Structure 1
Amino acid sequence: MTDLATLEPSALIFPRTELPSVPVRGQRGAYPVHRIFCVGRNYADHAKEMGVEVDREAPFYFTKSPLTLVQTGATVPYPPGTGNYHYEMELVVAIGAPAYQVSVEEAPKAVFGFATGLDMTRRDLQLDARAKQRPWDFGKDFEQSAVIAPITPAAGFSPGEQIIRLTVNGAEKQNARLTDLIWSVPELVSHLSRYYHLAPGDLIYTGTPAGVGPVVAGDVIIGTVEGLAPVELTIGAAA
């Protein structure tokens, strides 16, 4: 039997997949991505439009593989298996220091920076899974479904009254303020750290405001948060 501990990298039967990284504004180095956590129903009006109640006892999450990450400005094909492909505009938190069972007060010390992002969703598959009380993976965790702009270091941005906004082909679809978040960034970091050893490279997509909707091939999505680099995505034809 082969001892896995003695295998050299050259013994791999196919090349190792490199994890993605994200540019950082004002810095030459990039931020390597380890994990992606996404917060569900973190704006009350979005929960209402999805036909569900807000759970104010605790936030809840789903995950995306880091290999789903796409840089802003990309063109991605309309994904397979869906006829209802949705945008969700989000504030993204980048963790920059270990955080395990930290308090809300300590949580900001673990934040490296912030970015704008899109949680692209196969809505029909998500809703079908929800109705059957199944995991959301088919609806959420698929190729090129996590879009992100360059990260702004925390020293240059603090979430507050900033407007979070999204347009499709120039028409406004989402408009809210970061103060509308049900669970704040420190609360999310603190809560997640009860269950995970958060570490540099972890991203948290903090949830989307009301106004989500479908896009089709040819559509151009632009999302903004005041003070952060905008995120842009073009929808291509199905591959």
Structure 2
Amino acid sequence: MKIVVIGGTGLIGSKAVVILRQNGHEVVAASPRSGINSITGEGLKDALAGAQVVIDLANSPSFDDKAVLEFFETSGRNILATEAAAGVRHHVALSIVGIDRTPDNGYFRAKVAQEKLIETSGIPYTIIRSTQFMEFLGGIAASSADGNVIRVSPGLFQPIAADDVAAIVADVALTAPRNGIVEIAGPDRAPFNEIIARYLTATGDPREVVKDPEARYFGGLVEKHSLVPLGEARLGRIGLDEWLQLIDMTS
């Protein structure tokens, strides 16, 4: 089966491409560097010719509210239009848990717009909403720093390892379209501030984590269940402690 992975050289895409190729599929790892650009449309028609499945992992290079919305709407329209012409039978997109519950986060609003394009495209689809990746805990800590103090919401958090995300994305791509949403998360759920504190301790970072209910998460206020699945979710295999041990061994 021919599968095109838009964003195939990124964190999740590169891992998913390896898994799918190991399973014997013809996989195109699409990215601007390979001459396939979902914003300009360059190379899309040729890349998608004969494809049965497209996995959309494209991500905006900017987090500015206006720029990120324009990115996901433009990219989404270009990909879906090309898929329709090519007869693609399954569109898989990676999204984020809780995007419809945090309206003051501009990135989340842009992902909602992307999802709406997919849902109204007429192409069979599965949207995978994931919790935040464990690989981004360091960046989250940095964005929450106030001098030597890191202010983090006590709302619940359930990060998932990128390896688990890629495995689930690959698996979903090989199954029938759900024409709906699948939520995925890591196996460990705890207050956001506690998870960041565990990450800092494991990486030898001496900064203090302060529980702050008013702390923002990329512009959005975090309620207790803003960032975790509310119902049934598919859980990854790799727990936070195991992942922290893995990064300690590779650092």
More strand per residue: 1 or 2? 1
Task: Flag whether TM exceeds 0.5 (same fold).
Answer: no
Q: Which has the higher contact order (CA 8 A, sep 6+)?
A: 1
TM-score, normalisation: structure 2: 0.29
TM-score, normalisation: structure 1: 0.30
